[in-house]
Amino acid sequence: MIEWSELRVNASRLQRCLEELSVFGRPVGGTFADGITRVAFSEADLASRRYVIELMRAARLDTWIDAAGNIIGHRKGRDTASKPIVFGSHIDSVPCGGNFDGQLGCMASIELIRILNEHDIWTHHPLEVAVWSNEEDGMTGSRAVLGELSRKALDHTVNGVRVADGLRRIGGDPDRLNEACRARGSIESYLELHIEQGSVLESARVSIGVVDGIVSIDAYEVDIHGFQNHAGTTSMRERRNALLAAAKIIQAVETEVTRFPGPQVGTVGHLDVFPNARNVVPGWVKHSVELRELSEDTLHRMGEAIRLRVQEIATETRTEIAFSQIEHNAPALAAPDIQQHIEAAASGLGLQTMRLTSGAGHDAQMLSKLGPMGMIFVPSVDGISHSPKELSTWNDCSNGANVLLHTVLRLDRAR
């Protein structure tokens, strides 16, 4: 029997599966490099799900679709009373997305099972591969598992399909979501391998990222009332230009967010300008401010600093500005001991690691409420993601899959 530490995933089989998966949603006449459009509940999503279910059954996983449309593959453990170690990701994509986001984690999870089968290794804990439904537009599947899928979320439309109808289409049942719900504490741990989608690892030339947490997000709405007037006859001195105030706020967000060193980010990404005409001084602007940072405390302080600046800008521009918080998403912290297990697994494989914070949302942030969570990142070439140009080298992909494999085995022994 092979020594546990010698176990490796089959890198060429992992690559082949990712390539096979990439045909679902590929533009007509395109190649792997053209990426995919595999929006949740679309025909491409359905076809890719059938492919994945086949792979999971071939890997002798007891496979089913839960009421939230998640594909779950269960492998029994030696200790039947113990909680499952769950790992997986998603296979839906954004429109014109790439071949690695979510998909690497799913294909590596199935590959891990195949390797254990081939070496007849049986873990103490049951293992579960999870392919979460509709990650990209609302994290439907992982949210439902927590019992946090609202009526409003079910009515939300994804590419023209109501989420509730979409769930029926993929084999779920929105009227029985409670059956997909899992109790807090019911899983041993959750692991997700994912591409970084940024350039931190590439710049540092490190092959494995150990995620310390997924950022907290605060969203604000800024409502600016100036005075709409003629762009030819209103002197500069007389103007109460709502768009000028918005421009100053955009600059203030930049200044306040970069005031201290750190990975925190702030974005003004959406503006409504009224009346939005070339020859009219804008009378009204509504725009977004979104701030992301792991520490809720730092996030709150950034928001308050911007609020102070907004008050000054209102005075400077003689406008009235309402600055209101409309959303707060708590951060999801990775469990410290799982981070250590990932580091030990990587080091056993001769791979360098660094800790980093995920600025993007992942199913893992939902699962962190069910049990201890850990995430493994691999480098994204040029930091590009949500694009057909999204790329991770096959070597980095198999490194990540090996770290996932060894982390699962370590967690199984440790707990």
Site for Zn ion in 153-182 (CB under 5 A): none
Q: Are strands 265-267 and 284-293 parallel, antiparallel or unpaired?
A: antiparallel
Give 35 or 102: the residue with its C-beta nearer to Zn ion.
102
> Cβ 212 to Zn ion, closest distance in Å?
18
Give 101 or 196: the residue with its C-beta nearer to Zn ion.
101
45 CB contacts (<8 Å, ≥6 apart)? 24, 25, 38, 39, 91, 92, 170
One symbol per residue from 43 to 82: x for binding Zn ion (CB under 5 A), - otherwise; what is it? ----------------------------------------
> Cβ 380 to Zn ion, closest distance in Å?
11
Residue nearest to Zn ion (CB): 102
Give 199 or 325: the residue with its C-beta nearer to Zn ion.
199
> Cβ 407 to Zn ion, closest distance in Å?
19
Of 66, 92, 101, 390, which lies in the binding site for Zn ion, with binding defined by CB under 5 A?
A: 101
Give 105 or 226: the residue with its C-beta nearer to Zn ion.
105
Query: Is residue 35 a contact point for Zn ion (CB under 5 A)?
Result: no
- Torsion, Cα of 158, 161, 162, 165 (10° steps): -130
Window contacting Zn ion (CB under 5 A); options: 57-65, 93-101, 206-214, 238-246:
93-101
The three-state secondary structure class of 338 is helix
Q: Report how far residue 130's alpha carbon sits from residue 90's, in angstroms, rounded to the nearest whole number.
A: 8
For residue 275, cis peptide bond before it (omega within 30 degrees of 0): yes
The three-state secondary structure class of 9 is coil
Window contacting Zn ion (CB under 5 A); options: 43-51, 97-105, 224-232, 344-352:
97-105
> Cβ 211 to Zn ion, closest distance in Å?
13
Query: Is residue 102 a contact point for Zn ion (CB under 5 A)?
Result: yes
The three-state secondary structure class of 292 is strand
Window contacting Zn ion (CB under 5 A); options: 55-63, 95-103, 312-320, 388-396:
95-103
Give 102 or 126: the residue with its C-beta nearer to Zn ion.
102
> Cβ 330 to Zn ion, closest distance in Å?
19
Query: Is residue 92 a contact point for Zn ion (CB under 5 A)?
Result: no
> Cβ 362 to Zn ion, closest distance in Å?
6
Window contacting Zn ion (CB under 5 A); options: 24-32, 48-56, 99-107, 185-193:
99-107
Number of residues that bind Zn ion (CB under 5 A): 2
> Cβ 385 to Zn ion, closest distance in Å?
8
Q: Give Cα 296 to chain centroid, integer Å.
A: 19
Residue 214 burial (CB < 10 Å; 0-12/13-18/19+)?
A: buried
DSSP annotation string for 170-219:
TT--GGGGGGT---TT-SSEEEEEEE-SSSHHHHHT-SEEEEEEE-EEEE
Contact between residue 287 and residue 253 where contact means Cβ atoms under 8 Å apart: no
- Any idea what DSSP says for residue 97? B
> Cβ 47 to Zn ion, closest distance in Å?
19
268 CB contacts (<8 Å, ≥6 apart)? 246, 249, 250, 253, 287, 288, 289, 290
Q: Report how far residue 125's alpha carbon sits from residue 189's, in angstroms, rounded to the nearest whole number.
A: 10
Give 390 or 412: the residue with its C-beta nearer to Zn ion.
390
Give 94 or 403: the residue with its C-beta nearer to Zn ion.
94
Contacts to Zn ion by CB under 5 A = 101-102
